[in-house]
Structure 1
Amino acid sequence: MTEVFPIVLNVGDEAPDFDLPRDGGGHVRLADFGGKPLVLFFYPKDDTTACTTESISFTALKADFDKAGVAILGISPDTVKSHDKFVRKHALSVPLASDGEKTMAMAYGVWREKSMYGRTYMGVVRSTFLIGADGRIARIWDKVKVAGHAEEVLAAAKEL
């Protein structure tokens, strides 16, 4: 396997720009959120247990994020068609971006080597970035455990 050294982002760094297709059609860009804090949650795959739980958790708190003036965007390598099906099946209200080329995952350093059952492979490491209204990274959660995560992100977002 070819070694890939992920980009390492730190709190205070400027958030990498993006322009990706999204569920429901159209594109989503970092500039679309200018002047507003943004939560980016990267997850490996639509409709898997942990990814579904995480997406439903962010959906359940979306009104609280909205009230705090914070936008949310989920990102995975899945297709827009897969996202649309996932959104319908679980009544998700958070937008989902399709990073099929993994350019955003690589720019944010979440496309990394993983292992399961003794097999190594490349994939998205579940991670969340809180971007401040100034476009700089305010907080990073790496190798996220889903339970209680959306609540923790909301608490941090309210502190911005």
Structure 2
Amino acid sequence: MLEQGDTAPDFTLPRDGGDELTLSALQPAKVVLYFYPRDDTPGCTTEALEFTALGAEFADAGAQVVGVSKDTVAKHDKFITKHDLGVALVSDAEGDVCERYGVWVEKNMYGKISMGIERATFLIGSDGKIIRVWRKVKAKGHAQEVLEALRAQ
């Protein structure tokens, strides 16, 4: 389980728009890396819209926001277009990055147990070290909480 002070596992994944995104290539910017279950669902849409609304403030604080799910790039593109999102979305279709960040977990919904992505956020410093981790995130208001933590650095 990754914790504060650990080195964030590097990755290169396909992103919206057809390019690739490499985590370490974003340095020296700080990175808000948020994992979410699925494009265009209520909680995931709320979270993405709130990160988008605060995008300029994250940029002013020296951070880039990147969302990760197992959805395809095509689904990410539709999600971004439908909601006019301003965050980068990467596709972890194979689930390797989710596994390395410890967010691929057993979930229990209405008594049915299945595997899925735990909504979680990692604030990564310009040195590639994890500054803070949020697990079992509630989408509403989360982006503001992350921004306040970023500004406190």
Aligned position for 2:2: 9
Output one character per residue of 1:55-92: Cα deviation in whole Å (capped at 9) or x when no partner: 00000000000111111000000000000000000000
Q: State the alpha-carbon separation in 1 of the partners of residues 128 and 64 from structure 2.
A: 13
Q: State the alpha-carbon separation in 1 of the partners of residues 24 and 35 from structure 2.
A: 18
Output one character per residue of 1:103-144: Cα deviation in whole Å (capped at 9) or x when no partner: 110000000000111110000000000001110000000000
| 3-state DSSP of counterpart to 1:145 | coil
Aligned position for 2:14: 21
Aligned position for 1:3: none
Q: How does 1:1-160 map to 2 (within 5 A)?
A: 8-160=1-153
2:35–2:68 Cα contact (<8 Å) kept = yes
Q: Mark the runs of 5 or more structure 1 residues left unpaired by the alignment.
A: 1-7
| 3-state DSSP of counterpart to 1:24 | helix
TM-score (norm 1): 0.94
| 3-state DSSP of counterpart to 1:114 | strand
Alignment coverage as a number of residue pairs: 153
- Structure 1 residue ranges, 4+ long, deviating more than 2 angstroms after superposition: none
| 3-state DSSP of counterpart to 1:41 | strand
Tell me the C-alpha RMSD between the 2 structures. 0.6
Output one character per residue of 1:6-65: Cα deviation in whole Å (capped at 9) or x when no partner: xx0010000001110000011001122111110001000000000000000000000000
| Percent identity for Structure 1 against Structure 2 | 54
Q: Mark the runs of 5 or more structure 2 residues left unpaired by the alignment.
A: none
- Name the amino acid aligned to 1:50: G
Q: State the alpha-carbon separation in 2 of the partners of residues 84 and 24 from structure 1.
A: 7
Q: State the alpha-carbon separation in 2 of the partners of residues 67 and 12 from structure 1.
A: 24
TM-score (norm 2): 0.98
- Name the amino acid aligned to 1:44: P
